Chain A
């Protein structure tokens, strides 16, 4: 039977170390909403989302209360809208009307974000894909809760450089369209390479076309718990350090698995995956950077950072995989700058640069995330950054992403406030040399040699 020490350990994780279930994300297929009439599509989408998700928030709150574990977010991911709206939308503005419908549906069911205003263009763009991408600035400026993502490359297909060129411009336009809110629109736009179909975390969540009609995915968190646990391994060998991280990741994931199973049973929707990511928040003691510093770095960004992160990411996976039958999504450590107090401090101290962050993305689960850069950065430079990240993803057969915010009217060293879980960030310098001639080449980068496994 459970003893008092085990109960106290769990409750200490929740009370003092910020253990929580970060999100229950309900994936909903909108493929059956397709129609050639735009009004009909909008109506279908609204009805399907409101019908499928009507009990999501209340069920999440119920589970949270019954088990005494905070469930921070209840969210929805949907089929990429470029596919759903393709038959009806004859212009970018038509797509904006769908974005507004999504926003309305999200507000009706009470979720704080809905992800899937997306296009999958890793090899080429259809007309609908291009309309959707061109509609992103207006869609994100005229909605509150809609999140957008574009997959521009994969290990199997190579990298769509035309899409990357276009997205450099779109990111700048999105920044301008939301300039009055510190270019917040860009915080809701992710550019992916090898995007997973079942990621529950925003802003990059969408419900892939290979998924069932509806599915429950759960994203867990708990950087604070790992940090606290490895304090006991200070000065010890790598074996003990790794063992401690694995054991902690196992415990955290088991809680996620329990919540996922429970949510699935109560909503009568199949369970998809657990995403075992260490997702930081700006709260003190909820930081991935602090874990890396506990491992032995003076500041994140110091030599050794990439190795420490690789170790952390791998142990989290090894521990988590044992705790759940179905693991998916991004699963690893997140390294967003604005959402992690330790990362912000490291940038302010001059220890952490864009280039070091790029190196870190080679070994962790995502990419350049929530990074503020000067508002006058050229579109082609942003495209170059996206191309670099995509190349890392393509060659290493992993997911990489770019969520970068050129903050209109702000310059290096100034601070941008996004608010809430999105946090705040100092504007970071970007390499001043251009890459226009590279970005202006039309076409795509071919798939790498190791993609030919047939």
Chain B
């Protein structure tokens, strides 16, 4: 199964997770795992998600979620998990 990694980085504020999760739910993206920390007031979250049921392409989802990031004031990106697997796993 193809998995996608979503990272959210930026200044902490109310409702970041709620807004991101709503967006994902609206687009039939299933969340498999979430880890989140606050480093020096900075919100830092990683999600592992399954986009296979989404009707939108990876490029389209990435574009829309980064626009959502702009409205919240954080940087959001979606990347295929393989870039991390290839770099960190042998």
Partner-B contacts on A (CB < 8 A): 1-4, 6-11, 62, 65-69, 251, 254-255, 257-258
Contact = CB atoms under 8 A, between A and B. Distances in A.
A7 B87 CA distance: 10
Most buried by A among B35, B85, B86, B89: B86
A69 B48 contact: no
B88 A2 contact: yes
Given A7-B5, A11-B7, A11-B77, A255 B59 contact: no
Q: How large is the interface on B (under 10, 10 to 19, 20 to 34, 35 or more residues)?
A: 20 to 34
Interface string B22-49: 0000000000010101000000101010
Nearest to A69: B83
B79 A1 contact: no
Interface in B32-90: 33, 35, 37, 44, 46, 48, 58-59, 62, 77-89
A1 B46 contact: no
Contact of B83 (A1, A3, A62, A68): A68
A7 B84 contact: yes
A378 B81 CA distance: 56
A259 to B, nearest CB: 9
Given A2-B48, A68-B79, 7 more contacts: A7-B84, A10-B83, A10-B88, A65-B58, A67-B83, A68-B83, A251-B87
Given A6-B88, A255-B83, A68 B78 contact: yes
Contacts of A67: 79-80, 82-83
Contact of A66 (B48, B58, B85, B89): B58
Contacts of B46: 3-4, 7-8
Contacts of A3: 35, 46
A1 B83 CA distance: 13
Nearest to A252: B87
A258 B86 CA distance: 7
Contacts, number: 63
A2 B59 CA distance: 22
B7 A66 contact: no
6 contacts: A4-B44, A11-B7, A65-B58, A66-B59, A68-B77, A255-B87
B77 A1 contact: no
A138 B22 CA distance: 60
Contact of A1 (B33, B62, B80, B87): B33
B10 to A, nearest CB: 13
A194 B84 CA distance: 36
Report which residue of B44, B46, B89 has the largest number of chain A beta carbons within 10 angstroms of its beta carbon.
Answer: B46
A6 B83 CA distance: 11
Contacts of A6: 84, 87-88
A4 B88 contact: no
B80 A8 contact: no
Contacts of A69: 83
Contacts of A2: 5, 48, 81, 84-85, 88-89
B2 to A, nearest CB: 10
A224 to B, nearest CB: 16
Contacts of A8: 7, 44, 46
Contacts of B89: 2
